[in-house]
Amino acid sequence: MEYANLILEIKNRVLYITINREHKLNALNKATLAELHTAFTNAYHDNRVSAIILTGAGQKSFVAGADISELVTLDAEQATDLSREGHTKVFDVIEQSPKPVIAAINGFALGGGLELALACHIRIASQTAKLGFPEVSLGIIPGYGGTQRLTQLVGKGRSFEMILSAGMISAQEALTIGLVNYVVSPEQLIATCEELLSKIMLQAPLAVAAAIRAINASGSETGFQTEIAEFGNCFDTDDVKEGIHAFLEKRPAKFSGK
Ligand code: COA
């Protein structure tokens, strides 16, 4: 499929998804959200893809939020629909990816942009990144999972401060509060994501997918039950036999993903 707002490239089993609306600081309009839905959904079924890096075009911005020009005419019902559709079709779809997704935060990650990064499994930021939730300065609140995912990640106190103040924090501050895993130079951003993914891609793919599902269930009522079920299901795979035999035979495992 042709994408008007995304650039997609597969290299060494990694799919690079670059949001490409640099003139609008990669703000998420409806068309971009629809393309993200398609790109991620396709990636999950694409055997050439084992992992995904999500980033923004240019040096300045990862994503500067939802496209504010599309919010102007919304009434309450339309806004509810927009939020719900974003949750189910994009943000939840990314979080529930069976393949690891890293956000390479190359600049502004604001509002919906920070929510996009929060839906990814791991966040790595450039030293130049600025992160924040400006929504209350516009008279709204984060509507793509920000109030929930930020709070789960950094706790209520930090979350209240960030969301209620509408302020931006630096990449270094984001590292201090656990909002991002690493801060690196702009030149090292993608290489750092690739290095981490190369370690993950050596592991058993079905176990990685099972771990993602179990971690995503943490904090919910079914978290521990999910872990028990996912642990058990691993024993129905060829990979568990290969992993355990490889250990006992003192050789590297060669996983088939079956
Ligand atoms: N939605 C729509 N357009 C946006 C946008 C957004 N969230 N963020 C930036 N843009 C557009 C600007 O309108 C501008 O377009 P124009 O050149 O056609 O006027 C272009 O991107 C460049 O942005 P600009 O504001 O000129 O850059 P800056 O360096 O002066 O400021 C920001 C950068 C990120 C501080 C500023 O763009 C900003 O505050 N953006 C909105 C962030 C926000 O509130 N996001 C949450 C939305 S719910």
Q: In the annotation, is 115 catalytic? A: yes
H helix or E strand, kind and range, residue 105: strand 101-105
Nearest residue CA, atom 14 of ligand 1?
Answer: 24
Q: Ligand 1 pocket, 114 CB below 6 A?
A: no
Distance 58 CA to ligand 1 centre (A): 14
Distance 145 CA to ligand 1 centre (A): 21
Q: Ligand 1 pocket, 82 CB below 6 A?
A: no
Q: Angle 146-154/112-119 helices, nearest 10 degrees? A: 60
Count of Cβ atoms closer than 10 Å to residue 43 Cβ = 21
Distance 60 CA to ligand 1 centre (A): 11
Distance 198 CA to ligand 1 centre (A): 35
The Cα–Cα gap between 143 and 171 comes to 23
Q: Ligand 1 pocket, 108 CB below 6 A?
A: yes
Q: Which residue has the tokens 């929930």?
A: 148
Q: What does the pLDDT read at residue 1?
A: 77
20, 21, 23, 24: residue to mutate for ligand 1 pocket, most atoms within 8 A of CB: 24
Q: What does the pLDDT read at residue 36?
A: 98
Q: Ligand 1 pocket, 67 CB below 6 A?
A: yes
The C-alpha angle 106, 181, 209, rounded to 5 degrees, equals 100
Q: What does the pLDDT read at residue 52?
A: 98
Each residue's pLDDT expressed in tens, for the chain with a length of 258 residues: 799 999 999 999 999 999 999 999 999 999 999 999 999 999 999 999 999 999 999 999 999 999 999 999 999 999 999 999 999 999 999 999 999 999 999 999 999 999 999 999 999 999 999 999 999 999 999 999 999 999 999 999 999 999 999 999 999 999 999 999 999 999 999 999 999 999 999 999 999 999 999 999 998 999 999 999 999 999 999 999 999 999 999 999 999 999
- 6-200 classified as CATH 3.90.226.10: yes
H helix or E strand, kind and range, residue 51: strand 51-56
Active-site residue, from 95, 135, 194, 230: 135
